[in-house]
Amino acid sequence: MSEGVRVSFPAPEPSRDSGGAPLAASGHRLRAIDTLLADRGQLFQALFLAAPIAKALVDLDGHVLVANTMLCALTGRTAEELAGRHVDLLAHPDDAPISDIAPFQPPDAPQLDPYLLLDGERRLRRSDGRELWVVQSHEVVHHSNGSPMFVVLSLVDVTDRRRAEEDLVRRAFTDPLTGLPNRRALTDRLRHAVALSRRRGLQVGLVHLNVDRFKAVNEALGHEAGDLLLSQVADRLRWSTRVEDTAVRLGADEFLVVAEDVEDLDGLRALAHRLLGVLDEPFVVNDREITLSASVGLTLGNDMTPDDLLRQAQSALTRAKADGTRGRIEVHEGVLSGSEMDALQLETDLKHALDNDELRLFYQPIVHLADETLLGYEALIRWQHPTRGLLPPGAFLAAAENNRLTSKLGEWVLRQACHDAATWPDDLRVHVNISARHLAEEGFSELVAAALAESGLPPERLELEITESTALFAAEATLHSVAVVTDQGVTLALDDFGTGYSAITALHRLPIHTVKIDRSFVADVVTEPSTAALVHGLLQLGRGMGLQVIAEGIEDLDQAEWLREHGCAMAQGYAFGRPAPLPGPAELLLEQLAAESGADVPGHPDTACTEETPADEHP
Ligand code: C2E
Ligand code: MG
Ligand code: MG
């Protein structure tokens, strides 16, 4: 803030000659100043009213007392119009509120209207609405006792300089040929777009286009025609993007469209197709029709730096152009499509499923095929999802794998299944599916021992089901862990037998007790002679190796009959009961009694909770 001036004019020291006498000319000048000082009206006219700088005398509250001619010219208002008005009349309406921009006034200083303190470059608005830039300064004029009287406000017009600067900046950020923002402008816009989209829970998409074979066009038609062509390409891109998107020229024949607020990859792809579509129409340059195509790299995200996003788009574009094909769209690897986003959401939900008690075990009976006596149940996991309903394992087990939730989930299944089975009659066994990842984890054998000990289930009543690939690719440590478990008396079943690479090899690697013939074979065992031959072979193999064989997925009595005739001892399938929530002890007892009395009842109670549709037909 200015210290202010006092209106007191000290008598000037007259100039003197070398002998010390005042000079005649300077004496004349002094007299003129005296006259001027004596005539305050003239002085005011000379220094204020006719000054070549816009000035106003303003009271301490900010009301204009007098405005000079220059101020009137600058603001487009008359002196009468300005007199008595507050100086906020001149402020630009788009500027920040005065409370935000006015400097702090110490409480012991004379309090002035905050508009008077805005020293420096500021924006004003003329009466015709045009913008105006000035450098403002202020001087406080004091009474002789030192108290402030009024303020002289001076405004120097710097609009032209400001425009020139803005123009320079604009040019630095604009591609001169096409008028599109250039690479320099991009980073800033991109950073802004990323921040905004993240706040809205959406993403920023990049469509990186490269005009195919532009060099050849340029060479054939000449550079001038090439330039014309590029500006037409730019125009089409500009007009076919949404207002919130920005088309940028990155280099010779490279363009980039920044799309804000993209929901998913499908939306971004649609934009890319639309852009390629508008470039499909032939261009006309110097009366010649030219057909172009472009290659495209896509990426999207909201959690990385603009540079990383640009690099991703560039690498996708490089792949799109890799083998010389034209008009190809490539997406940066790692970008998620709509369904993948669903999977992500699923993973997040799954983390809470365990804590929120949303997991269920359904049990499907395993029966003796000769007389349909119940031998045990296979535990099959279900997820009672809060919004999607009951989900089968196929809908979420993969998500659990990604999330490293497999072992947590597996642990829950194992403990729950042992706990449930311990309440069943002593001759019923429980089968539990074990994922390869869980099996390979350290502490697996200890977990099995703990689940058995806690539930009181004898180890002989537990069978672990693993798949062929699990058995095939198991590391030595896993094999050791499995040996510890089977030494306790727990048995191993090879699930989905026959579907993997090398079922026989798998049989040799692990102490397998049971093989479960996959239901894809059982499905057409009656109708398809080659399948029949295969299943026949599998049954012989099992018998030859002294293994138990369970046929899975038996849906009708013909299949059951065929399998029984070919020596399959055990079975599981809808024909004998669908997976269902745990049968209570009373139901089990009834079932046993019915079976012993020879009554024709399935091995599993046909409860109301039994799955209505095959498990794999769930949404
Ligand atoms: P799986 O172990 O081969 O289980 C048999 C699957 O076949 C079950 O599907 C069952 O509902 C279905 N099924 C049984 N009988 C029939 C039939 O007659 N017709 C037809 N069409 N299907 C039948 P689900 O319950 O969807 O389980 C699918 C797979 O998910 C299981 O195949 C198993 O590999 C895995 N799984 C299930 N529960 C668990 C678990 O707790 N842990 C692990 N790691 N995997 C599990
Ligand atoms: Mg199984
Ligand atoms: Mg199976």
How far is 296 from 303, CA to CA, in rounded Å?
22
Residue 141: how many other CB atoms lie within 10 Å: 14
- For the Cβ of 574 lying below 6 angstroms from any atom of ligand 1, the answer is yes
- For the Cβ of 573 lying below 6 angstroms from any atom of ligand 1, the answer is yes
Residue whose Cα lies nearest atom 37 of ligand 1: it is: 380
Please check whether residues 43 and 137 belong to one and the same domain.
yes
pLDDT of the residue at 403: 63
Please check whether residues 445 and 527 belong to one and the same domain.
yes
Residue whose Cα lies nearest atom 19 of ligand 1: it is: 553
Domain that holds residue 107: 24-163
How far is 205 from 427, CA to CA, in rounded Å?
61
Residue whose Cα lies nearest atom 27 of ligand 1: it is: 393
Please check whether residues 400 and 303 belong to one and the same domain.
no
pLDDT at 586 over 60: no
Q: Which of 366, 382, 433, 582 to mutate to test the pocket of ligand 1 (most atoms within 8 A of CB)?
A: 433
Give me ligand 3 centre to Cα 569, in Å: 17
How far is 22 from 13, CA to CA, in rounded Å?
10
AA letter at 113? D
pLDDT at 466 over 70: yes
Which tokens belong to 39? 């005539």
Please check whether residues 558 and 505 belong to one and the same domain.
yes
Residue 158 lies in a domain: yes
pLDDT at 2 over 50: no
How far is 379 from 437, CA to CA, in rounded Å?
18
> Model confidence at 218, in pLDDT bands (50, 70, 90)?
confident
Residue 206 lies in a domain: yes
- For the Cβ of 495 lying below 6 angstroms from any atom of ligand 1, the answer is yes
Which tokens belong to 96? 């920040």
pLDDT digits over 294-313, tens only? 999 999 988 788 888 999 99
CA angle 166, 169, 173 (to 5 degrees): 140
pLDDT of the residue at 338: 56
**Ligand 1 atom index nearest CA of 579:** 11
For the ranges 213-222, 368-377, 429-438, the lowest mean pLDDT is seen at 213-222
Please check whether residues 270 and 297 belong to one and the same domain.
yes
How far is 350 from 383, CA to CA, in rounded Å?
9
Q: List Cβ neighbours of 36 (8 Å cut-off, separation of 6 or more).
A: 42, 43, 46
Residue whose Cα lies nearest atom 42 of ligand 1: it is: 433
- Domain containing 29 — which CATH number? 3.30.450.20
pLDDT digits over 504-513, tens only? 677 777 889 9
Count: domains in the chain: 3
Give me ligand 1 centre to Cα 612, in Å: 15
Give me ligand 3 centre to Cα 496, in Å: 4
Residue 614 lies in a domain: no
As a whole number, mean pLDDT of residues 374-393 equals 89
As a whole number, mean pLDDT of residues 554-575 equals 95
Q: What is the chain's percent helix, strand, coil content, to nearest 5?
A: 45, 25, 35
pLDDT of the residue at 615: 39
Q: Among 135, 163, 191, where does a domain finish?
A: 163
- For the Cβ of 520 lying below 6 angstroms from any atom of ligand 1, the answer is no
Please check whether residues 185 and 139 belong to one and the same domain.
no
Residue 326 lies in a domain: yes
Share above pLDDT 70 across residues of the chain, in percent, rounded to a whole number: 85
pLDDT of the residue at 488: 94
- What DSSP letter does each residue of 534-588 carry, written as one string? HHHHHHHHHHHTT-EEEE----SHHHHHHHHHTT--EE-STTT---EEPPPHHHH
Give me ligand 2 centre to Cα 378, in Å: 7
Q: Which of 354, 363, 369, 380 to mutate to test the pocket of ligand 1 (most atoms within 8 A of CB)?
A: 380
Please check whether residues 184 and 156 belong to one and the same domain.
no
- What DSSP letter does each residue of 211-254 carry, written as one string? ETTHHHHHHHH-HHHHHHHHHHHHHHHHHTS-TT-EEEEEETTE
Rounded to the nearest 5°, which phi and psi values hold at 327?
65, 25
Residue 11 lies in a domain: no
Q: Among 305, 336, 367, where does a domain finish?
A: 336
Strand pairing of 246-251 and 254-262? Answer: antiparallel
Full-model pTM = 0.51
- Domain containing 281 — which CATH number? 3.30.70.270
pLDDT digits over 144-188, tens only? 998 999 999 999 999 999 999 988 888 889 999 999 999 989 988
How far is 296 from 254, CA to CA, in rounded Å?
10
Which tokens belong to 264? 């998913």
Q: List Cβ neighbours of 76 (8 Å cut-off, separation of 6 or more).
A: 126, 127, 128
How far is 440 from 466, CA to CA, in rounded Å?
12
pLDDT of the residue at 411: 95
Please check whether residues 55 and 141 belong to one and the same domain.
yes
- Domain containing 441 — which CATH number? 3.20.20.450
Please check whether residues 179 and 247 belong to one and the same domain.
yes
Please check whether residues 324 and 391 belong to one and the same domain.
no
Residue 2 lies in a domain: no
How far from chain centre, in Å, is Cα 47? Answer: 64
Please check whether residues 54 and 131 belong to one and the same domain.
yes
pLDDT of the residue at 209: 96
Please check whether residues 106 and 212 belong to one and the same domain.
no
**Ligand 1 atom index nearest CA of 435:** 44
Give me ligand 1 centre to Cα 339, in Å: 23
Average pLDDT over the chain, rounded to an integer: 85
Give me ligand 3 centre to Cα 360, in Å: 19
Q: Among 163, 198, 223, where does a domain finish?
A: 163
Burial 374-412 (b: 16+ CB within 10 A, else e): bbbbbbbbbbebeeeeebbbebbbebbbebebbbebbbb
> Model confidence at 26, in pLDDT bands (50, 70, 90)?
low
How far is 542 from 429, CA to CA, in rounded Å?
20
Q: How many CA atoms lie within 13 A of 470 on its CB side?
A: 23
Give me ligand 3 centre to Cα 585, in Å: 26
CA angle 296, 297, 300 (to 5 degrees): 130
Residue 503 lies in a domain: yes
Residue 348 lies in a domain: no
pLDDT at 293 over 70: yes
Q: How far is CA 417 from CA 457, 462, 576, 582, 592, in A?
A: 10, 9, 20, 10, 20
pLDDT at 325 over 50: yes
- What DSSP letter does each residue of 25-85 carry, written as one string? HHHHHHHHHHHHHH-HHHHHIIIIIT-SSEEEEE-TTSBEEEE-HHHHHHHT--HHHHTTS
